[in-house]
Chain A
Amino acid sequence: MVPCTGRVDEVMILKAFENGADGVMVVGCLEGDCHFVKGNLRAREKVRRAADLLAKAGLGEERARMYNLSAGEGAKFAAHVADMVEHVRGLGPSPINLVRAGAKASPTNVREG
């Protein structure tokens, strides 16, 4: 938990995948409504950069996502989570988890050279 998504950086996201995450969702305030003014906008850029690095590493950029909502939107939060879970299920396990499980990673996810 962080006080503002502005505190999230690429390292946190990447480390989550090193630790076995299949997907990472970053949930911040609605754009324009950041309690700390611009934190959520910075977070969006960092999530984008992390996604780009995940693509380069062969995990796919779709595994890191940012969602925005306000603190009072409990139902929306649940919906976003469900959306992310379904999304990640569709992508399958992170290639790194497949490698760790001893299975051969799918060809579309393994980076050449």
Chain B
Amino acid sequence: MIMGEVKPFEEVMAIIEPYDDIVLAGCHGCVTVCRAGGEKEVQVLASTIRLARETAGRPIQIKEVTLERQCDPEYLETMRPYATDHQAVLSIACGAGVQFMAEHYMGLPVLPGINTSFIGVTERQGEWAERCQACGDCVLHLTGGICPVTRCSKSLFHGPCGGSSNGKCEIDKNVACGWQLIIDRLKSLNQLDNYRKLQSFKRWRTSRDGGPRRIVRKDLQE
């Protein structure tokens, strides 16, 4: 799922500085799982902001709400009755949610409260790691289920480079060498022959490089 982290508190305070009455909108989706923008996080952030603003002599009203998701129009509509009673929305959903919120509430400033980082998995409690770069042209069947675009810092297709050391990437001892992982996996699956094949150039057009993307399913549209 989509992972993000709360913005530094000072940055959030600077972003909401012009406003005295805001909606703080969380999301029960991905950001709840990575503990950045769920109901609990809404309460904590709202409380901290109120304390900080009142202490500084500029109290702020905060309407707390956590939507089912901010990436579906139906759920965004649930805010319609009261949204414009406030001056702005601070959304702690992912970047997609923040933008969709802004599109649906054109007259209201919609502000981001988290930094959206990546598509990833929960490796263990409290630790999330990137797995997918959404390149739109998945070839995981060739690399033992491990993505070279995401897991190799240089997105090499014939790694590892000369900086691989003890299974770690040259950029950081805490980053596994993606190609070491791939080779180990190919070995265990008896697929090392895959390695000796020269891969044709990656088609980046299906990735963000080709422009903002869209999927249309006419068969699902009314």
Instruction: Give the interface of A toward B (CB within 8 A).
Output: 9-11, 14-15, 17-18, 53-54, 56-59, 95-96, 99-100, 105, 109-111, 113
Contact B14 A96 (CB under 8 A): no
**Chain A residues in 8 Å Cβ range of B48:** 14, 53, 56-57
Query: Could you show 29 A-B contacts with beta carbons less than 8 Å apart?
Result: A9-B40, A10-B44, A11-B43, A15-B47, A18-B50, A18-B51, A54-B51, A56-B48, A56-B52, A57-B49, A57-B51, A57-B52, A57-B55, A58-B51, A58-B52, A58-B56, A59-B51, A59-B55, A95-B55, A96-B54, A96-B55, A99-B54, A99-B55, A99-B57, A100-B54, A105-B57, A109-B55, A110-B56, A111-B55
**Shortest Cβ distance from B2 into chain A, in angstroms?**
23
**B75 beta carbon closer than 8 Å to chain A:** no
A14 proximity list for chain B (CB < 8 A): 44, 47-48, 51
* Distance in Å: Cβ of B134 to nearest Cβ of chain A: 32
**Range of interface residues on chain B?**
10 to 19
Contacts known (A9-B40, A11-B40, A56-B9); A110 close to B47, Cβ less than 8 A? no
Write the residues of chain B forming the contact surface with A, with a CB cutoff of 8 angstroms. Answer: 9-10, 13-14, 17, 40, 43-44, 47-52, 54-57
Q: Which 3 A-B pairs rank lowest in CB-CB distance, beginning with the nearest?
A: A14-B47, A57-B52, A57-B51
State which of B17, B47, B56 has its C-beta within 8 Å of the C-beta of A18.
B47
Query: Is the Cβ of A58 less than 8 Å from the Cβ of B55?
Result: yes
A10 to B42, CA, bound (A): 12
A99–B40 Cα distance when bound, in Å, is 27
Bound CA–CA A18/B44 (angstroms):
12
Contacts of B47 in A (CB 8 A): 10-11, 14-15, 18, 53
Q: How far is the CA of A31 from the CA of B51 in the complex (A)?
A: 31
Report which of A53, A105, A113 forms a contact with B55, defined as CB distance below 8 A. A105
> Which of A15, A17, A57, A96 neighbours the largest number of chain B CB atoms within 10 Å of its CB?
A57
Contact of A111 among B17, B40, B44, B56 (CB under 8 A): B56
Q: How far is the CA of A54 from the CA of B49 in the complex (A)?
A: 10
| Beyond known contacts A111-B52, A113-B17: 17 more, CB 8 A cutoff | A14-B48, A14-B51, A17-B51, A18-B51, A53-B47, A54-B51, A56-B10, A56-B52, A57-B49, A58-B55, A58-B56, A59-B51, A95-B55, A96-B55, A100-B54, A110-B57, A111-B56
Do A113 and B13 touch (CB < 8 A)?
yes
